Amino acid sequence: MKEFIKRTITAFFFAGLLLGSIYGGCYSFAAFFMLVCILGTHEFFQLAKKTNAKPQTYFGIVAGCVLFATCYIAASTSIYYPLFLNIPLFFLIFIFELYKKSEAPFLNIAFTLLGIFYIALPLGLLNFLAFPLINQSLQYDSQILLGFIFMVWAHDTGAYIVGSLWGKHRLFERISPKKSWEGSAGGVIATFGIAWLVSGFYHLLNLQQWMGVGVIVVLAGTYGDLAKSMLKRSIGVKDSGKILPGHGGIIDRFDAILFSAPFLVSFLLYLYIFKV
């Protein structure tokens, strides 16, 4: 019971902070997700160290922040050349490794780049949801971002409740013994229910397009959760961190968003290019 209360209180305050940052405008949105980028990247590197790797933690965090910031500039202004700043930063990782005198440079470089790719890149892509091309105004518009987050939460909540009550058939027992097909079905129903509700309030996308977002959330979100579980299981940890009492770490809370964001941005780009 105490664990449930702790989880509920943490979820309440975390959801309030997240939604408040998005509703607060472009600067509070950017500040919040930049902080998530810093904490999430640091958390990933701490997990990587459990494999005896020594990723370039501080430079990796800086590179991740630059990637997020340049994505913000590109999304909000349609000026894309700042994105090229990331290319030399990635190659500096190889140069800095020369001076570490490490016995496992392959491992260190790989984990540093993976942390940026897995955490900072998807968070940077959220800027293209906050300034959607489909809006054609370069103005901050939280409709798609909020709808996306509501669907991710609905999917997680639906899967958890239905799986806890009726889950019997394991979805992917080797990786995540507690996840069930019944829970997955509950997540699907909840996601499309929220997609239908969202379409009535947020009109930047029509109902069919919101349902397309729902498909992405269901598929990419499920695989994102499984991929995170696979990584944690490989190093023998239960949670990615302890920053969120009762919920684990940043990666634990953002796994579905991290995995879904690239697919969603690609989907929106498709809608924009082909005027579907």
Q: What confidence tens digit (pLDDT) does each residue in 213-230 have?
A: 999 999 999 999 999 999
Boundary of a domain, candidates 125, 141, 157? 141
pLDDT of residue 86: 97
Same domain, 244 and 223: yes
Boundary of a domain, candidates 116, 141, 166? 141
Same domain, 38 and 162: no
Indicate whether 123 pLDDT > 70.
yes
pLDDT of residue 7: 74
Reference 220, options 252, 193, 253, 258; nearest CA is 258
Q: Are 116 and 67 in contact (CB under 8 A)?
A: yes
Same domain, 123 and 210: no
pLDDT-derived band at 34, boundaries 50, 70, 90: very high
Q: What percent of the chain has pLDDT over 90?
A: 78
Same domain, 15 and 146: yes
pLDDT of residue 90: 95
Indicate whether 1 pLDDT > 60.
no
Same domain, 74 and 185: no
Which secondary-structure segment (H or E) carries 107?
Answer: helix 105-115
pLDDT-derived band at 203, boundaries 50, 70, 90: very high
**Number of domains composing the chain:** 2
pLDDT-derived band at 246, boundaries 50, 70, 90: confident
Tens digit of pLDDT for each residue in 67-90?
999 999 999 999 999 999 999 999
Indicate the DSSP class of residue 137: S
Same domain, 258 and 147: yes
Same domain, 30 and 121: yes
Indicate whether 167 pLDDT > 90.
no
Same domain, 40 and 151: no
- Residue 194 CA to residue 202 CA, distance in Å, equals 12
Same domain, 148 and 275: yes
pTM: 0.94
- Residue 148 CA to residue 72 CA, distance in Å, equals 18
Domain encompassing residue 250 = 1-23+142-276
What six digits make up the tokens of 29?
């949105």
Q: Are 236 and 25 in contact (CB under 8 A)?
A: no
Q: How many Å from the N-terminal Cα to the C-terminal Cα in the chain?
A: 49
pLDDT of residue 2: 65
Same domain, 154 and 242: yes
Same domain, 150 and 19: yes
